[in-house]
Structure 1
Amino acid sequence: MSAHLSISKEHCQNDALKLDTTAAEALLAQLPGWKRVDATLHKAWDFKNFYQTMAFVNAVAFIADTEDHHPDMSVSYNHCALVWTTHSAGGLTRNDFICAARVDALFD
């Protein structure tokens, strides 16, 4: 099983601690297309139409609600951008990478 699939099967923890740069970069390497910007993870998608965009947004909302870990989202007609961070920890935690991997798994 690839590391990406392994992370996507994990669940968020309420007491997740802020990751150091080395740990964050190691997890980031398992998530193609994601970028670390300061203490956040970013990725954006373009879709064929509004319906596909909203289907994606609703799938992300389900993941976020299930994991009780919610991203910042920017949504337009055929575009959606996500930003993950853990405000309570003051930066990136494993939870952010778990949710990013779960979002990526929507396309598997």
Structure 2
Amino acid sequence: MSELAKQECEACRADAPKVSEQELAVLIAEIPDWTPVVRDGVMMLEREFKFKNFKLALEFTNKVAALAEAEFHHPSILTEWGKVTITWWTHAIHGLHRNDFICAAKTDELLSE
């Protein structure tokens, strides 16, 4: 289990600091399969997971949903035949917070369950 995946999300307020460029470089190295993307001026973390069929993709979607509820931090989830795209960002600050990297690392851990 990665060091990030061992951490817990903290409550995040609208005045919480966004991840700096330096922090981004360090944190993204810990989750190399994730890509920072910018949509509507908001930086997010995104990863596409591939599966053999829709049933497996849906099972993974449900695991991510359970993780999101447990952490009280909710991503965008797009479930399609054979793939699931997960996008993490912090709505309250319109950008990336450490919580997003923690949840991305925890999402990666779900593949080994």
TM-score by length of 2: 0.87
Match of 2:79 in 1: 75
Find out whether 1:92 has 2:96 as its counterpart. Answer: yes
Structure 1, residues 37-86: CA drift from partner, whole Å, max 9, x if none? 13100100110011110110000001000000000111112111011110
Deviation at 1:90, TM superposition (A): 2.1
Deviation at 1:96, TM superposition (A): 0.2
Give the % identical residues: 36
Pairwise CA RMSD: 1.3
Which consecutive residues of structure 2, in runs of 5 or more, have no partner in the other structure? Answer: none
Between the two proteins, the alignment pairs up a number of residues equal to 105
* Residue among 10, 17, 23 paired with 2:7: 10
Q: Distance in 2 between matches of 1:97 and 1:63?
A: 13
Which consecutive residues of structure 1, in runs of 5 or more, have no partner in the other structure? Answer: none
The correspondence of residues 11-50 of structure 1 with structure 2, limited to 5 A, is 11-15=8-12, 16-38=16-38, 39-50=43-54
SS in 2 for 1:7: helix
Q: Distance in 1 between matches of 2:93 and 2:86?
A: 19
Moved over 4 A (4+): none
Q: Distance in 1 between matches of 2:27 and 2:59?
A: 27
